[in-house]
Amino acid sequence: MKLINRDIEKEFIILASEYPVITILGPRQSGKTTLSRMLCPDKPYCSLENPDIREFALHDPRGFLNKYKHGAILDEIQRVPLLLSYLQQIVDDGIPNGSFILTGSHQLGLHNNITQSLAGRTGLLTLYSYSLNEIKKTNSIQHIDTFDLICKGFYPGIHSKSIRTASFHRNYIKTYIERDVRELINLKDLTLFQKFMKLLAGRIGQLVNHSNLANDIGVSSTTIKNWISILSASFLIYELPPYFKNSRKRLVKTSKIYFTDTGVASFLLGIKNREQLERDPLRGAIFENAVVMEVVKGLNNFGLDENLYFYRDSNNNEVDLLIDLGEILLPIEIKSSETFNKSFLKGIKCFFSDYKDKSKNGIVVYNGEYEQSLGNVEIINYLSLINKLKIFH
């Protein structure tokens, strides 16, 4: 297994000098445990997935934490959220910064528990699967094939451990559904939830209609909303909200859905290789998914606020991604084509006209090699996002 330095390490080190507790959230298999143990090799490690350890922590939380008076890595803390209240007492009694490292794979309830028990006492990080910059460390950038990479996905196990792509995703989804989902909700029929995930993958980048999904699957709209919240809380999907502040026009107010890893989405859609992806009607949506998640990862890895939106007005003028940088709004249009067309600029120009005072520059991300600037809009290749995201750091 080849270990690489993660982009988030710098932010981790800074937070460890500022807070007694560091909490790393993110999807399963994104590398949270590896990162923690690599940066804190001298700390005791404790996995709360272990049934014996979990029982000890549940029934005697004080006795459990007394074993780690000088700090520890507590993996999958959502398994015993009760520990957070007892950890608060230890922190308030006075411990050095960076003493405890907590990891968690579910936000459902855990985030509230953390903010209630450890407010002001913990630094929060979110670690997703590999970014483009991290992929570059495992491969030569000259040999990265965009559609091959998007189809494989970005999980470390595929790139660092050389696990077969289909095998990884099949087991990942099977394990997630059978273990995590059943613990979070009273799921009686696994096949319905599997069907739901596949249908949701077919709606990447779209405004999700709960009623239509409910009719297609044979469940209620309320159930669909609950299932989406479960996928979001488990970091399997990412919900991109609309931007509708201070506009004269009536705007769409429903979020768009993306998968946090395009390999998982491709697997759910039955897309097995780059050739299939290039021909698939959802090629553009999956490419858009990859770009959106690259920006999400970049902002999180740099410790920046995740102020991301999309823009669409009632006339269907749209910008795929919008970064709110405070006083400035940066619109990003995303196209999977290898050939630039001036029609790519339409949504950005409409956005400029609506937000003259806050938006003067934009970006088009496409799959072509030729990069240029047309007035105040940069046209860049997907792989150039590596460098573009660094300007926000």
- Check which CATH number belongs to the domain holding 51 and give it: 3.40.50.300
Q: In whole angstroms, what separates CA 140 from the centre of its chain? A: 24
Say whether both 60 and 193 belong to one domain: no
pLDDT at position 355 over 60: yes
Residue 31: pLDDT band (50, 70, 90) is very high
Average pLDDT over residues 95-107: 89
Assess contact for 310 and 242: CB atoms under 8 A.
Answer: yes
pLDDT at position 152 over 90: yes
Which residues, including other chains, have CB under 8 Å from residue 236's CB and lie 6 or more apart? 27, 176, 259, 260, 264
Return the number of other C-beta atoms located less than 10 Å from residue 273's C-beta: 14
Q: Using CB atoms within 10 A of its CB, is residue 96 exposed (0-12), middle (13-18) or buried (19+)?
A: exposed
Average pLDDT over all residues of the chain: 89
Assess contact for 100 and 87: CB atoms under 8 A.
Answer: yes
pLDDT at position 140 over 50: no
Whether 4 is in a domain gets the answer no
Say whether both 60 and 100 belong to one domain: yes
Say whether both 102 and 175 belong to one domain: no
193-218 pLDDT per residue, tens: 889 999 999 999 999 899 999 999 99
pLDDT at position 228 over 50: yes
312 has which bridge partners? Answer: 318
Q: Which of 90, 26, 81 is nearest to 48 (CA)?
A: 81
CA-to-CA distance for 164 and 145, rounded, in angstroms?
17
CA-to-CA distance for 58 and 56, rounded, in angstroms?
6
Higher-confidence residue of 108 and 76: namely 76
Structure confidence at residue 250 (pLDDT): 56
67-89 pLDDT per residue, tens: 998 899 999 998 888 888 898 88
Indicate the SS3 state at residue 220: coil
Structure confidence at residue 139 (pLDDT): 64
Average pLDDT over residues 338-346: 93
Assess contact for 29 and 157: CB atoms under 8 A.
Answer: yes
Structure confidence at residue 40 (pLDDT): 95
Residue 247: pLDDT band (50, 70, 90) is low
Say whether both 32 and 150 belong to one domain: no
Assess contact for 97 and 219: CB atoms under 8 A.
Answer: no
Say whether both 301 and 222 belong to one domain: yes
Backbone angles phi, psi at 235, to 5 degrees: 65, 25
DSSP code per residue over 115-152: HHHSTTTEEEEE--S--HHHHHHHS-GGG--HHHHHHH
Token readout for 183 is 């613990």
Instruction: State the Rg of the chain over Cα.
Output: 22
358-380 pLDDT per residue, tens: 888 999 999 999 999 998 999 99
Structure confidence at residue 234 (pLDDT): 87
Structure confidence at residue 191 (pLDDT): 84
pLDDT at position 221 over 70: yes
Residue 46: give the domain boundaries: 9-126
Which of 102, 126, 150 delimits the end of a domain? 126
Say whether both 352 and 294 belong to one domain: yes
Say whether both 222 and 113 belong to one domain: no
Its pTM surpasses 0.85: yes
Say whether both 294 and 377 belong to one domain: yes
Which residues, including other chains, have CB under 8 Å from residue 132's CB and lie 6 or more apart? 294, 383, 385, 386
pLDDT at position 141 over 50: no
255-282 pLDDT per residue, tens: 999 999 999 999 999 999 999 999 999 9
Average pLDDT over residues 140-167: 83
pLDDT at position 108 over 60: yes
